[in-house]
Each structure stands twice: as structure tokens, then as C-alpha cells.
Amino acid sequence: MKKTVKIEGLDCPNCARTLQNEINKIDCVNKAEINFLKSKLSFESEDIEKATKEIVDLTKKIEPNAIILIDKNKERKNGLILDLIFLIIGTIFGLIALLVNLPTFAFWMFFVASALFLGYKTYIKAILLLFKGVINENLLITISIIGATALKEHMEALMVVFLYTLGKIFEKMAVDKSRKSIENLTNLQPEYAVILNNGEETKVSPNDVEIGSIIVVKPGERVPIDGIVIEGNATLNVQSLTGESMPLSIVEDEKILSGAIVLDGVLRIRTTEEYKNSTVSKIMNLIENAQDKKSKTETFISRITHWYTLGIIVIAIITLGIGWAISRNFEASIYRALKLLVISCPCAFAISVPLSYFSGLGNASKNGILIKGSNYLDALSKINTIAFDKTGTLTTGEFQVEKVESLSENYSEKDIIYLASLGEQYSLHPLAKSIVKANTKELEQIKNVKEVAGEGVYFKYNESDYFVGRKNKKNNLAVEIYEDNVLIGKIYLNDTIKSSAFKACQHLKKMGVKMLLISGDNKSKVEAVGKEIGIDECYFELLPQDKFNLLQKCKKSKKNFLAYVGDGINDAPSLMIADVGISMGINGSPASIEASDVVLGDDNIEKIPHAIKISKFTKKIVWENIILSAVVKVAFLVLSLVDVASMMLAVFADVGVTLVAVLNSLRALYYNPKKINLYKK
């Protein structure tokens, strides 16, 4: 069995990683994972109750300030306010100890009280983890404070713990800000659905609503399940789904997505999906699981942190030994080694890299782009070739009457549409619906209607026999009308190109991305669409296996980093073989959404260049943080070794670069791809 609980009070990714490793050592726990940025702990066990108890007990020992919320309704602790209070008290005691001329006993009383209030969390963690054989930055800071105190550098000792704790508070505020952004997205989940049954309205769980049920949504309420509006019209807030702030109007017979908020009007909706398959549920699942798949950079930083910290302690000891051997000044050598410990603290790397990716994922989600992990966010930045499916991806999949041809002097074009609509009014075929929609006359009810799959509709009207369908298979978008076996007219239909397809392809071309159109449709249709929107290469009359083989051939070239965009169940193999698979969130089949790495929440492919821009910006932020942290630390390390930088300056360097990196990471959350020049590579 698997269980997921909320865990509060973890200060840093290293703390989360260490706790996760220790939980996995519990005998009755098969697998445990902590998502630091979402404050969630998931674990598997054959005895969930026993595992939960042992995990709670272990957490209290290793992370005394962390709390596992078994009861979802339990009030959360506000650790940030408590930290600020302790910081203020510790600072006041420290100022008294350092600035007031006190007797020795009073000085030490205020000094120790100040050090404890400022850094009690750090010391406790360092000791508890050391007994577990774990060494991290808490031990580095603790050793530095003890060492500085032993050398009678009291001000520097307090400054180390003060600045470190202050930095941790700022880090927590930044992480909370990013978490809140994601929580706003996960608030899409509806609490209830109002179902209409025999004229009575009843509140039920969205999970209990069956397909075909009638639900009522009033102003201020969130649409709980996908459906078709059967009564009423309203204005919707769909920003949480599409990223667009402009309200959307909806009327009867239009499709409505779960997660939208009704601003005015009352809607009656016939549900077309179960809650688990509705748009809001898909989005929730994608967001919840996005952070589980990490990029190579993030994984690398995570793996080296433990060995990095241990290595720094070893280097500090070697530095102490060499310094004492050369200078014979033990105090100066210890002081130099302590500065090295402070400067080399890995906090800047450990917090800024995952926070950058988390911010990038949050930004994409706000814009209606659901990316299933930071590894795919990373991969988007490398795309130089995109292959598109046609129907439902570049085109709407909704057919329109393009031309009507009458082949009989007895009938006008309107008569041909009317006669065809008489038979097609009973059909569920997409072409039939498009023909009926084009008719302007009121349809009569007819009898003796027979629909033959793959052929068309046979019916009798005014003593004549009619057939509406396709006997000529060469043009699969030309519907023929026969009267007593005589061809009297043709109706030509066309699948319209999405307006977003023109803009998307224009942007991608300017970004230097090569575009392919691969479709099962005939040559003339595929090439016409490709030419109209500016596709580089077109491939036609391909079966799903042919598409798969073509993409496999494209991938063999090391120059190609390939994305595939599709929406149907037949696109699933192609989505899986591509370096990045992109599917449609509204009209995409469950198989294509499952197989893809990126889901466009509102089927708007103009968001593909947006996704690439967010990816490139996030990756740039990640490397800015890594390079900045490394350069600053190396520079101050050199300065400390030649006795130019003091302990106070060393801690300023460590905390300062961490704060800068954290604030820089948040830029990925607020980056707006729509305001950036997409024509610039």
C-alpha cells in the first residue's frame, strides 16, 4: 500500500534528502520519497499504520522542527514567525553581551543564550545527524561557531550563526512563495458538484457523478467536471487552465472544461467525462507528479552534496595541518580552516538549483503548459526539430462545408444541403454534424433511415430513395448525394487550420526550429496545410507504425533533438519515442496524454514556443546560480587562505550568495514568455 502525507518544517533540500534516506532504512518501509518543494512524503509499506508510527518517531529525532500531518485538518505550525521571534531575542542578547561591559559570568550567560536562540536548530540537527553518520552544512556551521568562540572571536561567532539563520529565514520565505504559486494551481480541485435529479439540486462528491448527469453551476462556483452546456450562458474565468486573463463567454451546446470559474449566469451542464478523466483531474495529477522526475543537473547537485560536505571538512583539516606546520601558529591555522568551512557551505547550490526548476515548472503551469518533470523542462531547451500530427493538432478536427456542387437542374445548392441534412440529422459522424450545421432550413422528420458504417445514410423522402455518403473513396472529404441511384450533388468539407498554428509555426521558424508535418491523410491535403502554415517538410499517408519509423530515423541523427506533437491514441508510440512528447490537454486522448511529457492545457500550440522560452530561461537561471556560487566561493576561499577575508566576511559571502541565488531562482517563476520577443533566437 502507498500513503502520502503532508510534512511541514523542513528547512532545506538537504534536510529532506537526509530524512528520506533514513526513512528508507526502516524495515517496514519499502520505498519513501520526500518532495521538499511540495512538502509531501510518500511511502509504501505492507503495514501502513506501523510504518507511519515509525516514520513519525524517526522524524522527531532527526528533524525536531518538522511535523508530519497525519490528520489533514490539523492546524499547521507557523515556524517562520517562531524563527523570527527567536532571531530577535537572540540578537538582543548578543548585542547586550558584546556592547555592554558585563561581569564575566553575565557576559557568558548572555552570549550562550544569544548563540542558543539564534542557532539551536542548527546545533540539534548537527548532533542528531552526526550520530546517524550524516554530515551536512549544519555541522560545518556548528564547528565554525565553536571554533570562533574558542579563539575568543565572540562577535564573529555570533555573526556566523546570526547571518546563517537569517539566510535560512529568507530561503524559507522564497520557497514558501514558490510553493504558494503551485498551491494556487492545485486549488483547482472542486469540493463538490451540484447534481440535478427530478428538479432537485443535491451536493455530491465530484467522484460520484456519472457520465450523462446534469449538474448546475452558479456564479462564483468552479465547474467540477467536463461537459456540454445544455442551458444558460455565462462568462468564465479560465486563467487557471489556460493562463489567459481575458474572461471567456460560453453559450448552449458548447463544451465546458472543469476548473473554469463561472463569473455570471447559471449553467446546466451534461457531463461527458467521469471526474477522474476530467481536465481538472488531469491537471492535478500532472502538477502533483511533476517534481518526481528531476533533471540531470538537479540530480547531480543532489548526489554530490553529501560527499562535498565531507570533502570540505577533510580539506579544512588538511589546511589546518599545513598552516600549523608552516607558521607554527595554531590559532591562526584554526581560524583559516574555520573560514574555509563557512565559505564552502553548499547551501547556495542545494537550494537554488531545485528552486529554479520548481519555479520554471510553476511558471509553465500558470501559462497552461503542464510539464511532467524538470528533466523534460530541461529537454525542451534543446529542441531543434518538431514533428506535428495534422488532424486535431494543427487543425481543429471540426469540419466545415467548403463548397456545394449541384449536378441536377432540379436542385439548388441549398436544396442539396437540405436533402443531405435530412439523412445526416440522425448520424453521429463528424462530417454529418458539419453538414447539418450548414443547413438553414427547418428539417422534417423522415422514416426508413438506415446508416451503414463506412458508406453513409440511406433514407426515403417524397417517394424517392436517397443516399448520402461516399461511394467515391478517392476524396474522403467529398460527401455525395444520390437520388434513385443518380448522383445529384456533392458537398466538399474541409478541416480548418487552428489560428494558433499560424503563429506557433511562425515563431518556431524564427527561433530556428525545423518543422515536419507527418499525417495519415492524403498528399494534397497534407501539403496544402503544410504550405499554408509554413512547414519545412511534409510526409503523408502514414500509418502509426510508419510515423514511429520515421521519427526513429530522425533520431538517429545526433543533430536532431526531436519533439513530437499529437493528440490521438495512434500518436502514443510517436510521443513516447520522441525526445519530448507534447499532447493536447482538452481533445487529447488519455493514451496520448499518458505517453507525452508535456501537455498543452487548452490545446493551443502557440504555447510550444512559450514552453521552449521558459525552459531556456530556467536553464539559464540554473547555470547563473551555479557559476555565481562557485566563483564567489572560490574567490573568497583564496582571500581567506591569504588572510585577506575575515570570518565575518566569509559568512557574508556564504549567506549573501545564497540569498542572491534564491532571489535569482524566483525570476523563473515570474518570467513572462508572452512579453518576450519570440522572434529572437
Task: Determine which one of 389, 567, 579, 602 is catalytic.
Answer: 389
CA distances from residue 48 to 42, 57, 72 in whole angstroms, order as listed: 11, 14, 17
- Other C-beta atoms within 10 Å of 135: how many? 19
CA distances from residue 427 to 212, 459, 476 in whole angstroms, order as listed: 19, 12, 17
| Phi-psi domain of 212 (left: phi exceeds 0; alpha: psi -120 through 50; beta: other) | left
SS3 label, residue 456: strand
Check residue 367 and report its DSSP letter: T
- Residue 247: what residue type? P
CA distances from residue 358 to 70, 181, 301, 375 in whole angstroms, order as listed: 25, 10, 15, 11
Distance spanning both ends of the chain, measured CA to CA = 48
**Burial of residue 6, with CB atoms counted within 10 A of its CB: 0-12 exposed, 13-18 middle, 19 or more buried:** middle
**How far is 373 from 168, CA to CA, in rounded Å?**
26
- Residue 621: what residue type? I
DSSP H or E stretch at residue 432: helix 430-438
**How far is 431 from 391, CA to CA, in rounded Å?**
14
**Burial of residue 298, with CB atoms counted within 10 A of its CB: 0-12 exposed, 13-18 middle, 19 or more buried:** buried
415 is annotated as an active-site residue:
no
**Burial of residue 253, with CB atoms counted within 10 A of its CB: 0-12 exposed, 13-18 middle, 19 or more buried:** exposed
DSSP H or E stretch at residue 381: none
- Please list the active-site residues: 389
